[in-house]
Structure 1
């Protein structure tokens, strides 16, 4: 009984202590955590590196808990009574300006084009499909900017003091019996309109430095530089997100199960689709793991046979690319120049002339549509993983689309340099114009003449095993974005020879948006392969950058094409850019001449290189500091897990003590 009374007394003491001194007990536990011990050890360093709180900084942006934010709010209210009237007024004005900026930012974001439509698409099909339409809207805004630059630097100066010429052109349009086919071919009244290069002539607007030739060139140069800056900035943001989430972060199974859900989805069918996508992604990861095990178990003979098969299939891909280039070459040289000139001079071209004029765009579009399907079928036999198959197909499609356009440009250069034409640049602009128009026609025909009838057949003929096996057309996001990149590259390449091509591209992109929306909602099934937005967006903007570089190279080679253009364009009369610029510099004052001479010297180039080195050094140092911050965050995550393990261990110890106490009490009662 003595032992029993002692046990009861100890038990009552423990219960009383646990009820009366619970908070000190919790404080003791918190002080024993590994993270608390780490903070005590590094207290001096944290005091040195402490970031001072800015009273004007919003509390919601601070990475603090609710209790600390309340403490800071009370501290802010106390400081308002301590500081003077002038400092309090300045602080309140700064807060009011910040809130005004936030409200204006929200109002501007509410005015974004197709915001509600994109929200509905995101709710029904997820973020990946929305990324395609966001990319399309970005290209639309980019072309709006290009149109504004062209209107200010190309169109307005050319129309200045040309009122009589404009009236003469309009009267000529009404006198001639123009045809609707002129709009598709760029002939007739379209050939002499502001759409093409031949409309613009050399005019002096008060001085040698203010003429249409220099304004024309600097307008095109401004378009390329601004687009370059915008694309590089957008690509760097995507690259930073990809680097943070794609390289240093390993998305394991638990992350995909617990964090892979898209909470923007509202429709039950879309939720079921998202379930299937997550299941397919997990299945794809398991297949990749199984594939890695299969790769690790291959013998030397199997490796030799596999590499032999891959070499043969890559040779087949090269043969297909060579055949595509041959088709483009024959399509480019099929209509003779005499025929094309007779087409441009005839006032009523027939449908046969329309077809012959569109042989090259039809060939390029068909090649770009058919060949990626062959590439996808070939990669299935190369025994790659699913992710590698998709990346290889995308890389080959990129080479096909941009390579076919580059080869087509080379063929056009050779064709028009050998020919004797009144304005070769206008003929080149017609080809880019026809490529743009036909891509819109191809998108329309693919949706309303192929995808929609195919969908009707699949829905009506459910008993047909063949139609069920074929199914609806799939909305493959990667290939659709590649088409947009190709379209924008054509716009950049042809903007020098067809200055109003960005305006035409705006109309085309608006039409493609609604056609793609109809195709997505009514005609297509989602793609079977998972689309990762963060990993592919950088690739798409990189492709845009490649298209911009191609257009810059084209702008550098336009002087070779303009040697024969002595009767049209701003540089008519065998005037090159160097001659026009030299005349302008000769009329400038002495100080301006010396400044331009210094800017073209080696000393200025050395200063530019030194500035670039300083900027790159600052960015590298910022990158290293960010990397150190990331290491600290990773260390904090490790310490959080250590705290959890310590608490679990401590809780297990308490439970074990409780069981031991009960066992002792039971033994004492039995005694």
Structure 2
């Protein structure tokens, strides 16, 4: 439209100028006759040439002025189009670097979106743990290695009775002891960067640089679980939802950028699986709506009874875990028997996590829910079992470490914790989390080699009725997702006591992907009952938040309530781990301290308070301690702002 207007304006101006020039040409003979000028005189030539020059210059100037906005807008449009094409090219190039993109697409095409959602969730956790490992390495591990190489002496607590902690083996190590130490986290593994007890409380101070290892350790490893929980919460808020009907799937489900027969067939299979899920959900809804009153009452009675059975199974599991933990911590044998007793809680938890969810899955099939509801219900029951079993283990450990909260007990009175049995209790908790992580990985590999592959071989080469009735296994999404949630919860809980646990979990999840992919294509058959993947993705992350909540409770209790060990770790001088924060604030200069106090005071101010008279800020470390109820002595008099 702008170009057309410019053309019309140019025509109008040309006509106006042409009329003016014609008028001058017609009046030129009158001037020539009146003043007696000759036809070819210099004045006539000069007059005519000047008129045409003025016409051409004024016309071109006005046309150029009108073309400037058009050219400018056209240039902006071209630049935006070029930038958009550049972004599309960059996005297309980066798509080749997406982790496991082609493999996950192939899984979705062969086994549906439900199974594909498991592998997408696994990829999300791999990236989450990898980024966490980078943070720990940057702020805790590398500074600790550098400071230890500088031969800095860490400060020792004055209480001599609680300082005896020497985990280094006193005998000549052999391969057998190396293996036991590797799988149990003791010996040479105990006094290494893997566990809490190896880190010291060094503080580097100079005129231009200061670094506090205890503060960096606490802030990094406590904020880690919080930030990962924020990421999961964000995905839950933005990722929930269901497919909006058949029309949405039919008219908007196809990807028109697909190229090649392989990608097209995979997308067709994926859409077919999703349509089957929707049709199955609709059929079950119609069936449940057509039930009579007697059938409805009998169905709900059956569901109540089955829920009671599930609660009894879960309660028995919790009792067994508590007893196994108490027995394991009370015995101190050596050798292979000691290794078995150390792994007794892990074995009981793993066995219960394997058996009870299978029973819950069979019970959920009897309740006659829709496929998506069945998966979600089994997921909630299994996550309750796994997470609360982990909570029972930790609660039993806390009871023994703190003498059931009775500080006046003879065992806990000298050191404020059970020193005789737990000389470095943080490392002991880290060892339990390490053993849970390692044992879960070993059980997964053993199940793949000793159960899943032999089952497929027997079914393929044996034609008896029993083997054909059993058939190939199906990839059960709910138990596999719960295994990931359980592993991630163990990492969040144990990262404070075993800082390298996120790195170990990253390697573990990467191996999980390839093991699960192999068993999926080699040993499994497509599921007979599919379920909607969008709803499942939402519940996967919601269940992950349950694990994050449990780990947050454990971390808060450990940081604020339990006395740190005197003989190990970066908090050996503090009465609680959190005390390092006001201690670090106390070491700030006056301006930074007043600014920080002003921020805290502003956040805690009542929103509807009347305007008060502004006074100069005059707060010292004593007022910080009174504000947060910490018993520190003032080191100086109040200073004016």
Same fold (TM over 0.5): yes
Please state how far the C-alpha of 1:108 moved relative to its aligned partner: 2.2
Sort the Cα spacing of 1:93 and 1:384 in 2 relative to 1 into closer, same or farther, 3 A. closer
Which residue, out of 85, 89, 94, partners 1:99?
A: 85
User: 1:424 touches 1:561 (CA, 8 Å); kept in 2?
Assistant: no
Measured in 2, the distance between the counterparts of 1:102 and 1:94 equals: 12
The aligned residue for residue 298 of structure 1 is: 293
Quick check: 121-130 or 406-415, which moved more?
Answer: 121-130
Structure-2 residue corresponding to 1:327: 320
1:286 aligns with 2:273: no
1:459 aligns with 2:454: no
> Which residue, out of 308, 311, 316, partners 2:309?
316
Find out whether 1:154 has 2:154 as its counterpart: no
Distance 1:117 1:508, change over 3 A: same
| Residues in 2 aligned to 1:532 and 1:97: alpha-carbon distance in whole angstroms | 38
**Residue number in structure 2 paired with 1:516:** 516
Q: Pairwise mapping of residues 166-205 of structure 1 onto structure 2 (< 5 A)? A: 176-177=173-174, 178-205=177-204
Aligned residue number for residue 557 of structure 1: 557
Q: Give the C-alpha shift of residue 384 in structure 1.
A: 4.2
Distance 1:500 1:467 in 2: 44
1:131 paired with 2:117, answer yes
Question: Where do 1:207-222 residues align within 5 Å?
Answer: 210-222=211-223
Determine the structure 1 residue equivalent to 2:481: 481
Identify the residue that residue 393 of structure 1 maps to in structure 2.
Answer: 378
- TM-score if structure 2 supplies the norm length? 0.72
Contact 2:253–2:271, Cα closer than 8 Å, also in 1: no
Counterparts of 1:83 and 1:259, CA distance in 2? 40
Name the structure 1 match of 2:576. 576
Q: Unaligned stretches of 5+ in structure 2?
A: 3-63, 153-165, 404-417, 610-641
Partners of 2:554 and 2:263 lie apart in 1 by 48
Residue deviations 1:302-329 (CA, integer Å, cap 9, x gap)? 5555544433322222111110101111
How many Å separate the matches in 1 of 2:95 and 2:369? 43
Pair 1:523–1:269, CA change in 2 (3 A):
farther
- CA–CA distance in structure 2, aligned partners of residues 126 and 287 of structure 1: 20
Q: How does 1:110-121 map to 2 (within 5 A)?
A: 110-121=96-107
Match of 2:630 in 1: none
Cα offset, 1:515, TM superposition: 0.5
Q: What is residue 42 of structure 2 aligned with on the other side?
A: none
Q: Residue 109 of structure 1 corresponds to which residue in structure 2?
A: 95
Aligned residue pairs total 509
Map of 1:543 onto structure 2:
543
Partner of 1:210, secondary structure, is: strand
Q: Shift in Å at residue 371 of structure 1? A: 1.1
Greater shift in the superposed pair: 574-583 or 370-379: 574-583
1:269 to partner: Cα distance: 11
Q: Is the 8 A contact 1:204 1:210 kept in 2?
A: yes
User: Aligned partners of 1:89, 1:569: CA distance in 2, in Å?
Assistant: 63
For residues 303 and 81 of structure 2, the distance between their equivalents in structure 1, rounded to whole angstroms, comes to 64
Which residue does the alignment assign to 1:234?
Answer: 235
User: The residue matched to 2:563 in structure 1 has which SS?
Assistant: helix
String of CA shifts for 1:117-137, please: whole Å, max 9, x gaps. Answer: 223323333333222212111
Cα distance 1:199–1:490, how it changes in 2: closer, same or farther (>3 A)?
same
Map 1:624-639 onto structure 2 (within 5 A).
none
Deviation at 1:575, TM superposition (A): 4.1
Q: 2:106, 2:266 within 8 Å by CA — same for their partners in 1?
A: no
In 2, Cα distance between equivalents of 1:323 and 1:213 = 41
What is the CA–CA distance in structure 1 between the aligned matches of 2:453 and 2:314, rounded to whole Å? 31
Per-residue CA distance 1:160-186 (angstroms, 9 max, x = gap): 2212769xx9x9999744512211100
Query: Hey, what's the Cα distance between the residues in 2 that align with 1:574 and 1:331?
Result: 33
- Once the two structures are superposed, the pairs formed by residues 255-294 of structure 1 within 5 Å of their partners are 278=275, 282-294=279-291
The alpha-carbon distance between structure 1 residues 543 and 501, as it changes in their structure 2 partners (threshold 3 A), is: same
Aligned to 2:45: none
Cα distance per residue 1:370-428 (max 9 Å; x no partner): 11221122234445455443332222122112221222221121123233221001000
Change (3 A) 1:382 1:125: closer
* SS of the residue 2:487 aligns to: helix
CA offsets per residue over residues 529-566 of structure 1, 9 Å max, x none? 21211111111111122212222211111136751511
TM-score normalised by length of structure 1: 0.69
SS for the counterpart of 2:530 is coil
CA contact (8 A) 1:476 1:526 kept: no
Q: Taking structure 1 as reference, are residues 130 and 269 closer, same or farther at Cα in structure 2, changes over 3 Å only?
A: closer
Deviations 1:225-245 (A, max 9, x none): 321332222222212xx1xx4
CA gap of 1:161–1:388, structure 2 versus 1, over 3 A, is closer
